Amino acid sequence: MRETEKLNPLSKGIDALSIGEFLKLMHAESRVAFEAVGAALNEIEEVVRAGVAAIRAGGRIYCVGAGTSGRLGAIDAAEVGPTFGSDAFEGIIAGGPEAMLNAIEGAEDNREDGRSQAGRINSRDIVIGISASGETPFVIAFLEEAKKNGAPAWLISSNRVKYDFVDGVIVLPTGPELIAGSTRLNAATAQKLCLNLISTAVMVQLGGTYDGYMVGVSPANKKLVDRAKRTITACTGAGEEEAGRYLEASGMDVKLAIVMLSRKVSKQEAERLLAENEGRLRGLLP
């Protein structure tokens, strides 16, 4: 029996606990997810390195899952765009977009759909499968097909599994859930932490931040425009009005605006400087 399907000894009598007692137990048990991710940092680093290489080569990172795992992958991938101004991540969930809001029974067992959806993957891409059981047919079939197409393939699993066709497995051994088999709990928490680490580390390596500033942000609404101006001001020392002018002159590209302002160069020259520096601000600012 998979570890994630076993009964957690701490769950005995949970239905008789008070609300407060249950919340304290569940909160304390969530530490398991944090510790599981911490033990897998070496493997996570390998995935980050592969992801950086894939994007620099013109490829993309695909996060593939079913049910809760698929939703988490899709959410994390979707957030990369507005945060870092990149479309390099894409989430794929068994059952398609409708499965984000509604459970689609049987979708996770559809190996043929997994193989079919992996047809677009090529050797420049990298695929990250997400499966608490480590055995979800849709995910495994997708990884197999992607690997045939020459793409590096990794699996995030809460159970210890081994497949010859993947480049590696990130094992997050969260063990039995407080509600047996409900992997939307600690297993999902660990998956979300792991995906956050991967996507954020990849984009930081690609120049998506300067110090802690979100220099790759896509200023698509008033809140983000204000954030972009504050970021330009913080990185250059310019006033808000000047930062706004340069933001508009750059085509609403924060990194370009920062280089244009700090170096007093044209947009074209700023683009050249950033391209030579692999999209990173570090080393370009006084």
User: Quick one: which of 134, 145, 143, 124 has its CA closest to 60?
Assistant: 124
Is 241 in the active site? no
Catalytic residue among 5, 43, 46, 79: 79
Is 108 in the active site? yes
Is 178 in contact with 163 (CB distance < 8 Å)?
no
Residue 135 vs residues 55, 65, 163, 223: alpha-carbon distances, Å: 28, 11, 10, 42
d(CA 110, CA 137): 6
User: Quick one: which of 184, 60, 191 has its CA closest to 129?
Assistant: 191
d(CA 177, CA 224): 39
Catalytic residue among 29, 108, 144, 177: 108
> So which residues are the catalytic ones?
79, 108
